[in-house]
Amino acid sequence: MNRIAVLLISCAALAACNKDGGAKPEGQVAATVDGKEVTTSEVRLELGSLAGDPQAVAQQQPAALRAVVNRKLLADAAEEKGLDKSPEGAMVLQKARELALIQLLQNSIVKSVPKVTADQASEYVRNNPSLFAQRRVILLDQLQVPQIPPAVIQQMRPLKTIEDVAKLLDDNKIPYRRGNGAIDPLQIDPQVLKQILANGENEVFVAPAQQGVQVARITGYRDAPLAGNEAQQAATAVLSQRQTVGQVRQQFEGIIKNGQKDVKINDAYKPKDAPAAAGAAKAS
């Protein structure tokens, strides 16, 4: 479910919550909205990872409470219009509930992942000198592209330079931003890193990015060795992330695989090649 941060609504909205002249909220009640309580637990949940930092809590708590209050005011307005009772509303709410349950399941898996030990981190540092003692940040000349149609990607394959790719994007009226970039070997999947390095300097490669696609070439390297406590902390973070992602993926895939036996799909929603594949299997 998309979260709408309504930050432009006046802070007076908080004061308006007490317009009924009722008792002033105190203790475990952070505010009331039309007589309904907003608890301190809801505010802590809104703070997310900041909830464990007392200084951040002191600074961000009013904004977090305002976000909760604004959300409740807008949700109440939707309910008053009966939007939650419509067929579309029921489906949207069901989807939101399912996504929330999946997030709770993921959180429970994450909590069960064993912590990385100091010995494990030390061993990782010793076994991966290219990530620590010999670490080099990869410098790039890159194009950041929101989206590239598959047909244009095919046309990019024989191109050899960034300039050629930029011209192709210009010809197809595809927006992009050109600039310098960098890849930290600690922050990228080892297999992806291996593929990028195999290209060598000045060879163009395409890789997925956080906001679209990255088309880049390696222009050089910058030595950035890590040692001692800094290396230990970095290794712990990398291993923790890897173990967490691995555990979540493994358990999610297991749940989905085990549940497939109870799934029945309407023929109209099966892949278009399914009947032909089934026929071929029968003929053999």
Q: Which structural domain, as residue segments, surrounds residue 66?
A: 12-102
Nearest to 41 by CA among 55, 53, 29, 54: 29
206 confidence band (pLDDT: 50, 70, 90): confident
SS3 of 120, please? helix
Q: Is the pLDDT of residue 13 over 90?
A: no
User: Is 136 in the same domain as 181?
Assistant: yes
Backbone dihedral angles phi then psi of residue 140, each to the nearest 5 degrees? -130, 150
Tell me the CATH number at 134.
3.10.50
In a domain, 236, yes or no: yes
In a domain, 68, yes or no: yes
User: Is 144 in the same domain as 195?
Assistant: yes
In a domain, 107, yes or no: no
- Domain boundary among the residues 223, 245, 269 is at 223
Which pLDDT belongs to residue 249?
96
In a domain, 178, yes or no: yes
User: Is 25 in the same domain as 68?
Assistant: yes
User: Is 175 in the same domain as 238?
Assistant: no
- What number is the average pLDDT over the span 135-147? 94
User: Is 168 in the same domain as 218?
Assistant: yes
Task: Using alpha carbons, list the distances in angstroms from residue 102 to 12, 40, 111, 251, 258.
Answer: 35, 24, 14, 12, 16
Share of the chain above pLDDT 70, in %: 88
21 confidence band (pLDDT: 50, 70, 90): low
Least confident range from 136-150, 203-217, 236-250: namely 203-217
Geometric angle at alpha carbon 99, from 96 and 257, rounded to 5°: 140
Distance CA 210, CA 42 (A): 30
Confirm if 139 and 219 have CB atoms less than 8 A apart. Answer: yes
- Higher confidence at residue 185 or residue 279? 185
| pLDDT tens profile 155-181 | 998 998 999 999 999 999 999 999 999
In a domain, 283, yes or no: no
- What number is the average pLDDT over the span 227-250? 96
Confirm if 177 and 142 have CB atoms less than 8 A apart. Answer: no
In a domain, 143, yes or no: yes
Confirm if 47 and 64 have CB atoms less than 8 A apart. Answer: yes
Mean pLDDT (the chain, rounded): 87
111 confidence band (pLDDT: 50, 70, 90): very high
In a domain, 276, yes or no: no
Backbone dihedral angles phi then psi of residue 137, each to the nearest 5 degrees? -80, 135
| pLDDT tens profile 23-54 | 788 889 999 998 899 999 999 999 998 988 99
- Number of structural domains (the chain) is 3
Task: Using alpha carbons, list the distances in angstroms from residue 209 to 2, 198, 221.
Answer: 21, 19, 20
